[in-house]
Structure formats: structure tokens, C-alpha cells
Amino acid sequence: MFCDRCHVQTTDWVEVKDEGVLISYIVVYRKFYGLPDPPYAVGLIKVRWC
């Protein structure tokens, strides 16, 4: 985990609002080691700061 602006490692949790924008998603139908059994969805969500 790192800051996407300055690439510094992040270690602290921060509060964000319970709203955001869904940027992209994919539904996975293939089994991958160490992940849940398909189908499942993975999404990229841009959250809004408090």
C-alpha cells in the first residue's frame, strides 16, 4: 500500500465518507489460487475524504 501521488508507503487508516464513484469493475469467472470461488466482482472505487 502506498500513496498514488508521492509513492510513500502508507500504514495509517483514515476515515472517509460513505460515498464514492465506481470507476471500473470486473466480474471474475475463473478460479485463481487464494481467492474466493467464482463468480465474484472486483471494483475500483474513488472515495471522498471526510
Rg of the chain (C-alpha set) = 14
Residue 15 amino acid letter: E
**Domain ranges across the chain:** 16-49
pLDDT along the chain (50 residues), means of 10: 82 85 96 93 85
Closest residue by Cα to residue 47 from 7, 23, 17, 26: 17
Residue 23 belongs to what H/E stretch?
strand 16-28
pTM over 0.85: no
